[in-house]
């Protein structure tokens, strides 16, 4: 109790220094939290990928479409549960800054292979029954104040023309990491329009999503799919969904590496800020520590006194930093162009790393002053001018 009492009294002996140190740690923890949240958001697609979903794209590049006729052949392969497909539509809503995924999907199968998209039966029936029907994610609905029955006008770019989609339902994510910022409309609408305007592009899909019965068989089924279309005009490349997502993330790997390096540097800054304070603090109090030793206080008491103060400063800075990470991350998400990061959540692991780093910094920063104090001879400490 005495140690806690003395730590409390000592903590604000130099109020400005203690407050600046706590502030320094707060800012460092906050910066660490935000950077790691960005990294997590970047990797959210990979993290949310299912092990039992395969993505089949054109072997040259995913921008080249595949014939719809592949669906039936893939379905017949052993181990395949459901085959669905989608086309990347893109298009412009309001202006080019309003970005979110817009895709033409097969109403009958798409929500079967993506069970993490929670949608009502009415919405599904609406999507299947209404040619220009669309189901949108809850984030988009909230951001643009859209509700069932509203019309979403789009100017096509990959698929030129003016398009009008009618909202027939709003999906929610089953998990926290599920992307709720997609707009999924009836593939038939796209295909029928293409038949009239650009018949050569009709009957083609951007990629297939293959739901398999046993995730352990993914390598065999991937090879089976690709061999099925080998030497055809549209050879395929089949990957797990995770690999497919990673191929996008790897394009930004240099940026992510840089962010991770800066995060580590921030941890170093926490350590330096705290070490500096603790070394100054201990040096000023050597005489007091010598008096405590003289009175019979043990090395454990002194280590507790210095280490405890360091831990309290680190703990306070880290707690405030973590508490601020949530509102500031929310503000950052609102400030980013819509759809940049469909999932922008502060992960529990990020908070754990931040708190853990502050804890390690607290211990490490106290190590040098504790050792110096323990090695100090009482007579030398008493001679010290405070």
Partner 1 sequence: MSLVSIHNISKSYWRDSLEIPVLKNISFDIPAGEFLALMGPSGSGKTTVLNLVAGIDRPNEDGDGRPGGSVIIDGTDITKLNESQLAAWRSRNIGFVFQFYNLMPVLTALENVTLPLLLTKMSKKERRERADFALKLVGLGDRVHHYPRQLSGGQEQRVAIARAIITDPTLLVADEPTGDLDKVSAEEIMNLLERLNKEFRKTIIMVTHDPRAAEKAHVIRHLDKGELS
Q: Which stretch binds partner 1 (CB under 8 A): 43-51, 218-226, 255-263, 291-299?
A: 291-299
Q: Are 305 and 3 in contact (CB under 8 A)?
A: yes
Nearest CB to partner 1, comparing residues 35 and 376 = 376
- Quick check: helix, strand or coil at residue 235? coil
Angle at 307 between CA 306 and CA 312, to 5 degrees: 100
Q: Based on the shown chain and the rule CB under 8 A, indicate whether residue 379 belongs to the binding site for partner 1.
A: yes
Q: Based on the shown chain and the rule CB under 8 A, indicate whether residue 17 belongs to the binding site for partner 1.
A: no
Residue length of the chain: 386
Residue 149 phi/psi, 5-degree rounding, is: 100, -20
Considering only residues 75, 191, 217, 288, which one is a binding residue for partner 1 as defined by CB under 8 A? 288
Binding mask 228-267 for partner 1 (x = CB under 8 A): ----------------------------------------
- The secondary structure element, H or E, covering residue 111 is helix 110-113
- The secondary structure element, H or E, covering residue 70 is helix 70-75
Q: Based on the shown chain and the rule CB under 8 A, indicate whether residue 6 belongs to the binding site for partner 1.
A: yes
Question: How many of the other CB atoms lie within 10 Å of CB of 225?
Answer: 22
Q: Based on the shown chain and the rule CB under 8 A, indicate whether residue 10 belongs to the binding site for partner 1.
A: yes
Nearest CB to partner 1, comparing residues 232 and 294 = 294
Say how far apart CA 67 and CA 57 lie, in whole Å: 11
- Quick check: helix, strand or coil at residue 104? strand
Q: Based on the shown chain and the rule CB under 8 A, indicate whether residue 320 belongs to the binding site for partner 1.
A: no
Nearest CB to partner 1, comparing residues 5 and 76 = 5
Considering only residues 88, 99, 144, 297, which one is a binding residue for partner 1 as defined by CB under 8 A? 297
Say how far apart CA 173 and CA 81 lie, in whole Å: 22
Nearest CB to partner 1, comparing residues 69 and 299 = 299
Nearest distance in Å: CB 308, partner 1? 14
Q: Are 133 and 127 in contact (CB under 8 A)?
A: yes
Q: Based on the shown chain and the rule CB under 8 A, indicate whether residue 384 belongs to the binding site for partner 1.
A: no
Nearest distance in Å: CB 310, partner 1? 17
Considering only residues 296, 327, 331, 335, which one is a binding residue for partner 1 as defined by CB under 8 A? 296
| Residue whose entry in the numeric block shows the structure tokens 């050597």 | 286
Q: Using CB under 8 A, count the residues that bind partner 1.
A: 21
- Quick check: helix, strand or coil at residue 226? helix
Considering only residues 294, 330, 336, 337, which one is a binding residue for partner 1 as defined by CB under 8 A? 294
- Quick check: helix, strand or coil at residue 370? helix
* Interface residue list for partner 1 (CB under 8 A): 2, 5-6, 9-10, 13, 287-288, 291-299, 377-379, 382
């Amino acid at each position: 109790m005495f140690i806690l009492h003395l730590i409390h009294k000592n903590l604000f002996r130099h109020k400005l220094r203690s407050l600046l140190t706590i502030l320094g740690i707060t800012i460092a923890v906050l910066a660490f939290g935000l950077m790691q949240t960005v990294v997590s958001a970047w990797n959210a697609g990979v993290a949310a990928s299912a092990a039992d979903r395969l993505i089949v794209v054109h072997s040259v590049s995913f921008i080249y479409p595949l014939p719809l006729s592949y669906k039936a052949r893939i379905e017949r392969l052993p181990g395949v549960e459901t085959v669905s497909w989608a086309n990347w539509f893109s298009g412009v809503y309001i202006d080019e800054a309003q970005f979110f995924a817009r895709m033409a999907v097969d109403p009958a199968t798409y929500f079967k292979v993506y069970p993490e998209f929670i949608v009502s039966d009415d919405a599904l029936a609406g999507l299947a029954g209404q040619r220009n029907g669309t189901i949108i994610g809850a984030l988009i609905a909230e951001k643009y104040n859209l509700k069932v029955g509203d019309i979403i006008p789009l100017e096509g770019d990959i698929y030129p023309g003016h398009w009008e989609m009618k909202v027939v339902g709003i999906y929610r994510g089953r998990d926290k990491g599920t992307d709720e910022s997609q707009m999924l409309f009836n593939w038939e609408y796209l295909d029928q329009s293409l038949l009239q305007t650009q018949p050569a592009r009709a009957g083609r899909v951007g990629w297939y999503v293959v739901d398999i019965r046993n995730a352990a068989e993914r390598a065999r089924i991937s090879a089976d799919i690709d061999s099925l279309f080998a030497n055809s005009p549209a050879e395929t490349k089949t990957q797990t969904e995770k690999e497919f997502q990673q191929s996008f993330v790897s394009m930004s790997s240099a940026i992510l590496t840089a962010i991770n390096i800066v995060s580590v540097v921030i941890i170093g800054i926490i350590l330096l800020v705290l070490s500096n304070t603790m070394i100054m603090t201990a040096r000023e109090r050597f005489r007091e520590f010598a008096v405590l030793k003289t009175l019979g206080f043990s090395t454990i008491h002194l280590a507790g006194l210095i280490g405890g103060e360091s831990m309290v400063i680190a703990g306070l800075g880290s707690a405030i930093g973590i508490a601020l990470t949530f509102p500031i991350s929310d503000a950052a998400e609102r400030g980013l162009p819509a759809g940049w990061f469909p999932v922008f959540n502060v992960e529990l692991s990020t908070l754990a790393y931040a708190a853990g780093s502050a804890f390690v910094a607290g211990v490490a920063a106290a190590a040098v002053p504790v050792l110096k104090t323990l090695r100090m001879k009482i007579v030398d400490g008493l001679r010290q001018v405070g």
